[in-house]
Structures are given as C-alpha cells and as structure tokens.
C-alpha cells in the first residue's frame, strides 16, 4: 500500500482552512469518519479507481496556514498525488468563493 503527502501554504486563517477541508472532502466523495477540531485534523475514507483510500487532512495552527493531505491506498503514487492535489484545489476554490 502506497502513501503520499501533498502540502500547500494558504493565506487564510487556520479555522477557515479547516472548515474548507471539512467541506471539500465530502464534495469529492470522501466520508469523514473522525474529526479532531482542536488539532485541525480530519480523517476520511473513500474509493477511487475501484480502490479503498484513506485521505487525511491536517492544518497548521498559525497563519499562513499549511494544509497537508495524506492519501493512502493501493494505487500508483502519482495517482495518489493527483487525488491529494484535487483536495487542495477544492479547498482553495472554497476559500476563494
């Protein structure tokens, strides 16, 4: 099973980034099964390309906020990276709109 992490620095308050991630994950078809709001941590599960995935989001507690997305599953690493980037893109779109 492969795992990859992608990160992006966002010029937004950590709470706003966390809230955007809470919206982005379900919008992309992932089910959040555990939330740790004090730690700005979200754990989710889902399926892509016929495979089970774990997609976890963590956000730094200072501004600018760094959002990290870790994707784990039985897919090639480049595909896991694409899926992580899609979550980051969805968060950015949510913050912008």
Average pLDDT value for the chain: 96
CA dihedral 89, 31, 49, 1 (to 10 degrees): 100
Are 63 and 4 spatial neighbours (Cβ–Cβ below 8 Å)? no
Mean pLDDT in residue range 17-42: 97
- 31-71 per-position pLDDT tens digit: 999 999 999 999 999 999 999 999 999 999 999 999 999 99
> Is it the case that residue 97 has pLDDT exceeding 80?
no
* Domain with 79 in it: 2-96
- Residue 66: what pLDDT? 96
What percent of the chain stands above pLDDT 70?
100
- Give the chain's domain count: 1
Q: What does the block give as tokens for 45? A: 């599960």
- Residue 83: what pLDDT? 98
What pTM did the predictor assign? Answer: 0.95
- Residue 89: what pLDDT? 97
- Residue 43: what pLDDT? 98
**CATH number for the domain that contains residue 63:** 3.30.530.20
């Amino acid at each position: 099973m492969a795992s990859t992490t992608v990160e992006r620095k966002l010029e937004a308050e950590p709470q706003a980034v966390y809230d955007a991630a809470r919206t982005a994950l379900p919008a992309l078809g992932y089910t959040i099964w555990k939330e740790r709001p004090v730690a700005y941590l979200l754990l989710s599960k889902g399926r892509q390309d016929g495979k089970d995935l774990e997609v976890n989001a963590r956000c730094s507690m200072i501004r600018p906020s760094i959002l990290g997305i870790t994707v784990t599953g039985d897919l090639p690493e480049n595909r896991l990276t694409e899926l992580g980037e899609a979550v980051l893109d969805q968060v950015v779109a949510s913050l912008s709109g």
